Amino acid sequence: MKLTGVMPALVTPFDANGKIDFKAFEKLLTKLRADGVTGWVPCGSTGEYYAMNAEERASVLKFVAGFADKSELLIAGTNAGSTADVIEHTKRARDLGYGTVLLSAPYYATPKPDELIAHYQAVLDAADVEIVLYNYPPKVGVEVGLDVLDAFVANPRVIGIKESSGNLLRAMDIRQRYGTRYQLTNGSDDQTLDFYLWGATSWICGPANCMAKACVDLVKTIEGGDWIAARDKALVIYGAMASLESGKFVQKVKYGCELAGTPVGLARRPLLELSAEEKTAFRRAMEPVLG
Which residues does the annotation mark as catalytic?
A: 134, 162
DSSP 8-state symbol, 267: P
How far, rounded to the nearest angstrom, does the alpha carbon of residue 174 sit from its chain's CA centroid?
19
SS3 209: helix
Report the interhelical angle of 208-223 vs 227-245 (nearest 10°).
160
Cβ–Cβ under 8 Å, residues 127 and 87 = yes
- C-beta of residue 259 within 8 angstroms of C-beta of residue 290: yes
- d(Cα 46, Cα 43) in Å, to the nearest integer? 8
Tell me which residue of 9, 85, 6 sits closest to 45, measured CA to CA.
Answer: 9
Q: How far apart are CA 218 and CA 282, in angstroms?
A: 21
What span, in angstroms and rounded, lies between the C-alpha atoms of 53 and 77? 14
Looking only at the bridges linking them, the beta strands covering 5-8 and 200-205 are parallel
One-letter identity of residue 25: F
What is the chain's length? 291
Which DSSP helix (H) or strand (E) runs through 58?
A: helix 54-67
